[in-house]
Structure 1
Amino acid sequence: MTGWSTHKGSALALAVDNIDTDQLIPARFMSVPRSEGYGRYLLHDMRRDDDEQLSAEFPLNRHEGVSILIAGHNFGSGSSREAAVYALVDAGIRAVIANSFGDIFATNAINNGLLPARVNAEKVTQLQQAVSDVPGELSIDLTENRLTLGEITATFELDEGWRLKLINGWDDIDLTQQHNHAISAHRDKRTKTTPWAWPTKPD
């Protein structure tokens, strides 16, 4: 994936608590090949009325080009379906801001270049109120773990390893390979000090 350190995009409030992965993408759509894109299934049932028509009351149906969601508490809870992240990414979402996230969802998000920005509840409420009706331009800086929306600024929590993965576009293997020099030096030292512990090569 492509790494990134800053993003400026259209942010919209989705002030609903406990949106789980089954709501993010219902299970019946997961048989669709990823190559066809999952974006059209994002929050499929929440966005539609009883007649399967897009509801004008749902925030994402009223605005296009949104790349940042300011969500409610416990976003991405539920089952461990990576397709929930695929749906967000394929719909153009680069970051979700919330007070808390499902653990597995957050890990899947990082592995797909999506930022799960954990911000304290008071700041989340401020941000939601600022873009409750009309999207606003929000800036994200991964180098400083900072968000800016107009005059509102907030810091977010992010594991250092996760931050490196997002900025560099790394996966878990890349994260380990940054230590290749130290790994090689340790291996060379161990082969000399404990040669009996290493497998012998066939003749």
Structure 2
Amino acid sequence: MQPFMTVSGPAAPLLEPNINTDIIIRIERLTGMPRSELGAYAFEVWRTPSKDLPKPNLILDRPPFRNAPILIAGRNFGCGSSREAAVWALMGLGLRAVIAESFGDIFLNNCFQNGLLPVVLPKDSLDRLAGEAATGDSVTVDLVACVVRTPSGEAIPFTVDPQRRQALLDGLDEIGATLKRDSEIAAWQSRDRAARPWIWATG
């Protein structure tokens, strides 16, 4: 997993509330498609012409937000089903961070497991940031300092669980974090074998 320290660039405002994982990636795209290709189909339901949406105009398809590394979203972003592929699709677009008022719980966990930083900001800070970012000027998300820097230079603080923050800084998912402590695990196993040999009996 790629370590995350800071990312800077345009931040695309997509402030509709309750954008669910079905909108982020259609379930039909999850069968037989490599993870690396899912980005092309992110937000497909908003990119494909239909009777209800004759002229799709997704902000992520427009300059200066095409290939933007940051998304500014509305409340309850990533709600709905638990598909991890929603995170893969967003990362396939080039996103490294999503800033929102709130996230779906499972989506939030999937973000941390895949190196996509979810940043929670209060609504007033989020609206202020989105207003400044609408011009396409650069926004910085700094996980080292735990601040979002707006185009005008304001530093908006955010909090992240310390263990998850360190895992992102180190580029480790749960498996990687566990393997990093392999020597500690082996030492505990050795002590436990001596203290409770019957637990380790193999027949």
| TM-score tier (shorter) | 0.7 to 0.9
Helix, strand or coil: the match of 2:148?
strand
Q: Which residue of 2 aligns with 1:199?
A: 201
Deviation at 1:29, TM superposition (A): 2.1
Alpha-carbon shift at residue 37 of structure 1 (Å): 0.6
Q: Aligned to 1:37, what secondary structure does the other structure show?
A: helix
Match of 2:61 in 1: 61
- Cα distance in 2 for partners of 1:157, 1:54 equals 39
TM-score (norm 2): 0.88
Q: Where does residue 28 of structure 1 map in the other structure? A: 28
The answer on whether the counterparts of 2:15 and 2:72 sit within 8 Å (CA) in structure 1 is yes
> In the alignment, is the contact (CA less than 8 A) between 1:23 and 1:44 conserved in 2?
yes
Residue 9 of structure 2 aligns to a residue whose secondary structure is strand
**Displacement, 1:40?**
1.7
State how many pairs are aligned.
Answer: 199
Establish whether residue 39 from structure 1 lines up as the match of residue 34 from structure 2.
no
Q: Is the 8 A contact 2:4 2:171 kept in 1?
A: yes
Q: What's the CA shift for 1:101? A: 0.4
Secondary structure of the 1:7 match is strand
Superposed CA RMSD in Å reads 2.1
Moved more, 98-107 or 60-69: 60-69
5+ residue gaps, structure 1: none
Alpha-carbon distance between aligned partners in 2 of 1:196 and 1:29, rounded to the nearest angstrom: 49
Deviations 1:43-98 (A, max 9, x none): 11123442677624x32222222110110000000001111111101111111000
The answer to whether residue 135 in structure 2 is matched with residue 146 in structure 1 is no
Deviation at 1:129, TM superposition (A): 1.2
Q: What CA distance in whole angstroms lies between the structure 1 residues aligned with 2:178 and 2:193? A: 21
Please show how residues 42-191 of structure 1 align to structure 2 within 5 Å. 42-50=42-50, 55-56=56-57, 58-63=58-63, 64-132=66-134, 134-150=135-151, 151-191=153-193
Could you say what secondary structure the match of 1:136 adopts?
coil
**Counterpart-to-counterpart distance in 2, 1:21 and 1:3:** 24
Tell me the alpha carbon deviations over residues 110-152 of structure 1, each in whole angstroms, 9 at most, x when there is no partner.
Answer: 22211111112211111111123x2221112212211111222
Q: Which has a greater percent of helix? A: 2
Structure 1 position 180, deviation (Å): 2.9
1:67 to 1:53, Cα distance in 2 relative to 1, 3 A: farther
